[in-house]
Structure 1
Amino acid sequence: MIEGTETFKGFFIQARSAENNEWIGSWDETPNTSPLPECSAITHADPKDKIRAILSWKAPHNSHGRVYFTGTVLKNYGTFWSNLIAEAPQDPAALQVLY
């Protein structure tokens, strides 16, 4: 999930293997998102102001190893945060599904 105290206009998030830095996995389409399967990424579907974006990523079958997520969040055309990195928890029990 991407969420903040202020609105944002867009985002681009990509999943990567921590072992070899290659794109990995796939994204489910959720409200106001647009998956980009050719590069294991997801982006916003419209430029409207958002307070949160709920994202759903799936690891490839028979995969193992650590994954991290990297991306950019756009507040407006003059303010954005790039090279953001978040590491997935190693313990699957630590993951939460939020609706």
Structure 2
Amino acid sequence: MKLLILVLLSVIVLCYCYPEGAPSCKLNVPSHEKTKAKSGKAPYNIVVTTPKTQTNGEKTVTVTISGIGSKTFKGFHMTARVPNSSATIGKFTPSDNAKILQCNPSSNAITHKDNEDKESISFSWSAPKKYKGKVEFRATIVKEYKEFYTNVKSSQVVIN
């Protein structure tokens, strides 16, 4: 009987977490039972390279999420935004361990493909054509089922 209860509880837990990444662009907080985001400074950094102009004229940056002091994480959901705005901007390029979530025709978000421990992950982001201004990257980062951090931000980057 105890084994049956354990199996049923395991199935219920699997139904509410997203081991293969967030299901949509708008769902940026995990549905982990009644668990709330941890408060205080997250033990993770989001580092963005200086923008580079590609041969096609696109401005791109490399974005890296990493743990402070070898802290690992299992998942993430990230968007690029104009500072002090809720509107998403630009497009991420998927990597081996990350996939794209379409937000609208002109922007997307990026999330994890699996729930394996990660020390860091990097991917590219491209600004909209003719965009000039600041952008910041915001993420929810999941350490484990009952430990996650929301609204983790990069430094603002200027796109000229």
Could you say which TM-score interval applies, normalised by the shorter chain? 0.7 to 0.9
2:95 partner letter: T
Q: Runs of 4 or more off by more than 6 Å in structure 1?
A: none
Which structure has more relative contact order (CA 8 Å, sep 6+)? It is 1
Q: Which has the higher strand share?
A: 1
Rounded to whole Å, the distance in 1 between the matches of 2:66 and 2:89 is 23
1:12-56 Cα distance to aligned partner (Å, 9 max, x none): 111011264411000001120011122521000111111111121
Distance 1:67 1:17 in 2: 5
Structure 1, unaligned stretches of length 5 or more?
93-99
Q: TM-score, normalised by structure 1?
A: 0.82
Aligned mate of 2:127, from 40, 50, 59 = 59
Q: Report the equivalent of 1:42.
A: 110
Residue pair 1:29, 1:35 contacting (<8 A) in 2 also: yes
RMSD value over aligned CA atoms? 1.8
State the number of aligned residues: 92
Question: Any unmatched runs of 5+ in structure 2?
Answer: 1-63
Higher-Rg structure is 2
Structure 2-normalised TM-score? 0.53
